[in-house]
Structure 1
Amino acid sequence: MLENRETPHSEYLFTDDYEVTGAELHYRDGEFYLHVRTKADVEFETAGEGNEEHSTVLGVDLGIENVAVTSTGTFWNGSELNHWHREFEKRQRSLQQRGTRAAHELIQSVGRTETGRYDHFLHTVSKELVAEAVEHNCDVIAFENLTGIRKQMPRATVKP
């Protein structure tokens, strides 16, 4: 039964300002928990739009070989994630060949562990990206398509 009550999270779930981007259902200690991810489009003033101060942009290019590379020259290598993925695939193939229920349950357990590793690694990278921006006094973090960033934000200084 869905309860219709005000909670601290209602403003994110029951408004058009936030878009639900995914959800995970967890079962822990006899109770179910639903973790819902939302995002909002955030508008900000860029240099030249009433803000005469210069903005400093930390450019971040996302990839597979290197998970992230910043315009300051910091790299987050994806080789550890790739190694985990290869090891999981090997173990999964081996367990699938057994064909037992226990093997199937172990595959699921190992899959959750792998997902947890990915989530933890990416969470760590995101925190380090913010720390990198703070360390270099960057006002804006720009992801991926960095082509033409100087034209899009003419008063911005891209940290080398």
Structure 2
Amino acid sequence: MSIWTTAGRVKSIPFACSAEVLAMLREHRKGETDLVARDGAFYLMAACNVAEAEAFEPTGWIGVDLGITNIATTSIGYRAAGRGLNRHRKRMQDLRAKLQTKGTKSAKRVLKRLSRKESRRARDVNHCISKRIVTEAERTTAGIGLEDLSGIRQRARLRKPQRVTLHSWAFAQLGAFVAYKAKRVGVPVVYVDPAYTSQECSVCHYTDRRNRPDQAAFACRSCGVVAHADRNASRNIAHRAEAAWNAGRRSSAPAPAP
């Protein structure tokens, strides 16, 4: 690489990256690259223009239910538990509070070293989850149904301790990771309204708040189906995604006159 400095342009500066990233840079890099200093290290932020693959016609749909206890649950049986990440968040929250109360120079140095550590951990988890979901959808030629969670922080009515957990979890980031990974391999993605997906039976579609006796269980009061609550919700999301996809393909224009 070469960069402009106060002493002129400096050329032939080596940089380090993975073989996969290097191949992407050679093939898709567009425009300038920014040099960013962060926490005593320098990073190159390069923009790559990668063409989207042509979307295929799905033979089925995978619904993805997002949550806090279970980060992501799919209608085909995959479940990413959030217990480990939630424990990590709680440890980091307690440690930050302790260091901020202490207020010494060494405590401030530790706080600086820990900055963004939690977000990096969550970002890595989101990358792993989204990659697994998209890989399975590509393998089975299925589309992906995601919840439209825009404005969830304003709509949710939670107690104060629960608000911290909700606001610290990157729902939008996980959804964005799934969407862009899916576009690169041609997997169709449909966003659906998540309203009442946790109260609706995925078999008979009877909706009642009493169908959800607790956080993990679902028991339909109409047909008697018993299932994991998040699994049932993901199946409802898959049904809604399939219905939205089929409705979009049907034309609403009148048939031509004979």
- Give TM-score scaled by structure 2 length: 0.42
For structure 2, which runs of at least 5 residues remain unmatched after alignment? Answer: 5-25, 148-191, 193-236, 248-258
CA offset digits 1:15-60 (Å, max 9, x no partner): xxxxxxxx9x4437763533669999x796675xxxxxx5322221
Q: Which residue of 2 aligns with 1:27?
A: 38
Separation in 2 of the partners of 1:130 and 1:138? 10
SS of the residue 2:76 aligns to: coil
Structure 1 residues 68 and 107, CA gap change in structure 2 (3 angstroms): same
* Cα root mean square deviation, aligned: 3.7
Q: Report if the CA contact (8 A) 1:27-1:33 is conserved.
A: no
Structure 1 residues 33 and 57, CA gap change in structure 2 (3 angstroms): same
For structure 1, which runs of at least 5 residues remain unmatched after alignment? Answer: 2-6, 14-22, 48-53, 156-160
Return the match for 1:9 from 19, 25, 29: 29
Q: Report if the CA contact (8 A) 2:63-2:75 is conserved.
A: yes
SS of the residue 1:10 aligns to: strand
Separation in 2 of the partners of 1:79 and 1:36? 34
Q: CA deviation at 1:124?
A: 1.3
Separation in 2 of the partners of 1:95 and 1:38? 43
Q: Report if the CA contact (8 A) 1:67-1:77 is conserved.
A: yes
The letter for the 2-side match of 1:10 is K
Aligned: 1:70 with 2:162 = no
Return the match for 1:89 from 81, 87, 93: 93
After the TM superposition, which parts of structure 1 deviate over 4 Å for at least 4 consecutive aligned residues? 35-40, 42-47
Q: Which residue of 2 aligns with 1:150?
A: 242
Q: Which residue of 2 aligns with 1:141?
A: 144
Q: CA deviation at 1:97?
A: 1.3
Separation in 2 of the partners of 1:60 and 1:84? 24
The letter for the 2-side match of 1:94 is K
Separation in 1 of the partners of 2:108 and 2:141? 48
The letter for the 1-side match of 2:141 is C
Structure 1 residues 72 and 84, CA gap change in structure 2 (3 angstroms): same
Name which one, 1 or 2, has greater alpha-carbon Rg.
2
Q: CA deviation at 1:92?
A: 0.6
Q: CA deviation at 1:132?
A: 2.5
The letter for the 1-side match of 2:42 is E
The structure with higher relative contact order (CA 8 Å, sep 6+) is 1
- Give TM-score scaled by structure 1 length: 0.63
SS of the residue 1:73 aligns to: coil
The letter for the 2-side match of 1:130 is V
Identity in percent: 24
